[in-house]
């Protein structure tokens, strides 16, 4: 959420930012919020005057009563009563106007970083760098579920009967590989100085609206019927929520945390839930990383976060590339975002396996995550990034480590988490 003072002083810059995000329907909101804000401040000023006057009159009443001037004192008491009624009306109006201003401000997108390329959608994202040499073997790479099925590693039919499309049973060595990747990613991040955390898997509505836009919330979140609770779509939400309504000492920053959680997503408006594949699903597990830091450090942490993901994938022999997300592909709270994509030998192209985001002070402003330092209080900056998210990551892993006989090579880094196995062999009947 943008600082109202910044919007008030820079309305044209805010409007241009909206144009850059191709959300022209929101342009009128800038003038609307300025109008409401002016009215709100005028009402507040009048209410402050009445409060000051009431205090002044109250002292006069005490003096008159002490002097035995009861009649004059009672007349002033009646005036205080009239002003109290007027003040109550002003306070109600002030509260209503403030709520309207906040409602609109929650919809106006965050100011994007000047480095963000201008583009309408993800087709205009810009490739930054490639890591590792993409290889296409001289044998055919089967579809990822076919690879898993040959290894007796997945049961989609049973999952469909139990829960519908978008769910799966992972079995045997594939299930073990899934857990191994998560455990390896956890230790990888701990070794890089992050504190491990297992957060709540449900969050309240005030946390949901603090960490994401209304559009994202509607498209992603499952609500618990009859309760003010939502299943998390990513542990970033509950991890950032951990700092809600806090005042943090500047010398304690940054907070660097890595978290494990299951994730639940409706995937509303997505490309559809595949019947065979596990690329886009309703339930999965993920290792995440978040940072809460000083504003001047957020750019540095942004670069560190995406590099962690690149390094993790390269340690498992998976080629990756980074893409800078264009303005139209940024969610409203994001200042900047960079996707990490893994190489798919089967498709002969890259596909997304993680996303690194700098949200500036947007989440902190909504959740009141403040910092106190030598120059007073200010809002922290928050960042998040995917460490690894099976089973999407498993698709890249299986394709890039597949042998012609259907077996899977286990990279050295992952072998301790697989009981020392160097390969996953195709079971003999």
Active-site amino acid positions: 265, 280, 352, 355, 392
Give me Rg for the CA atoms of the chain. 28
Q: Please compute, for residue 229, the number of CA atoms within 13 A of its CA located in the half-sphere on the CB side.
A: 8
- In terms of phi and psi (left: phi > 0; alpha: psi -120 to 50; beta: otherwise), the region of 368 is left
DSSP state of 265: -
Q: Tell me the C-alpha distance between 202 and 197, whole Å.
A: 15
Q: Tell me the C-alpha distance between 29 and 35, whole Å.
A: 10
Whats the size of the chain, residue-wise? 429
Q: Tell me the C-alpha distance between 427 and 429, whole Å.
A: 6
Q: Nearest 5 degrees, angle CA 155-CA 160-CA 163? A: 115
Q: Nearest 5 degrees, angle CA 315-CA 175-CA 259? A: 60
Helices (H) and strands (E) in the chain, counts: 13, 18
Distance between start and end Cα atoms, the chain: 59
Q: Tell me the C-alpha distance between 179 and 172, whole Å.
A: 11
Q: Are 173 and 155 in contact (CB under 8 A)?
A: no
**With b meaning 16 or more CB within 10 Å and e meaning fewer, what string describes 125-154?**
beeeeebbebeeeeeebbebbebbbebebb
């Amino acid at each position: 959420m943008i600082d109202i003072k910044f919007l008030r002083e820079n309305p044209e810059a805010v409007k241009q930012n909206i144009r850059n995000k191709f959300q022209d329907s929101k342009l009128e909101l800038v003038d609307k919020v300025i109008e409401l804000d002016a009215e709100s401040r005028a009402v507040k000023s009048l209410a402050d005057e009445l409060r000051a006057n009431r205090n002044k009159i109250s002292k006069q009443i005490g003096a008159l009563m002490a002097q035995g001037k009861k009649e004059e004192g009672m007349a002033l008491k009646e005036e205080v009563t009239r002003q109290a009624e007027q003040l109550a009306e002003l306070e109600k109006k002030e509260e209503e106007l403030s709520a309207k201003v906040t409602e609109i401000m929650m919809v106006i997108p965050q100011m994007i970083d000047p480095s963000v390329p201008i583009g309408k959608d993800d087709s205009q994202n810009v490739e930054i760098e490639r890591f590792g040499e993409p290889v296409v073997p001289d044998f055919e790479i089967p579809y990822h579920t076919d690879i898993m099925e040959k290894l007796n590693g997945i049961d989609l039919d049973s999952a469909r009967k139990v829960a519908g499309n978008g769910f799966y049973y992972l079995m045997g060595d594939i299930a073990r590989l899934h857990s191994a990747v998560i455990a390896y990613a956890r230790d990888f991040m701990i070794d890089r100085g992050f504190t491990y955390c297992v957060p709540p898997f449900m969050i309240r509505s005030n946390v949901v609206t603090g960490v994401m836009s209304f559009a994202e919330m509607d498209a992603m979140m499952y609500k618990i019927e009859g309760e003010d609770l939502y299943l998390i779509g990513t542990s970033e939400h509950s991890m950032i929520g951990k700092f809600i309504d806090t005042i943090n000492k500047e010398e304690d920053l940054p907070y660097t945390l890595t978290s494990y959680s299951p994730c639940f997503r409706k995937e509303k408006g997505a490309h559809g839930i595949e019947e065979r594949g596990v690329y886009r699903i309703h339930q999965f597990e993920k290792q995440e990383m978040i940072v809460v830091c000083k504003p001047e450090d957020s750019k540095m942490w942004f670069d560190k976060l995406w590099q962690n993901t690149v390094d993790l994938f390269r340690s498992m022999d998976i080629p990756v590339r980074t893409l800078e997300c264009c303005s139209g592909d940024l969610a409203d709270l994001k200042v900047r975002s960079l996707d990490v994509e893994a190489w798919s030998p089967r498709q002969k192209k890259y596909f997304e396996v993680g996303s690194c985001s700098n949200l500036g002070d947007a989440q902190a402003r909504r959740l009141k995550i403040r910092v106190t330092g030598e120059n007073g209080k200010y809002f922290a900056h928050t960042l998040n990034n995917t460490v690894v998210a099976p089973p999407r990551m498993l698709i890249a892993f299986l394709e890039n480590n597949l042998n012609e006989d259907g077996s899977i090579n286990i990279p050295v880094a992952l072998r301790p988490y697989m009981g020392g196995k160097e390969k996953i062999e195709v079971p003999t009947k």
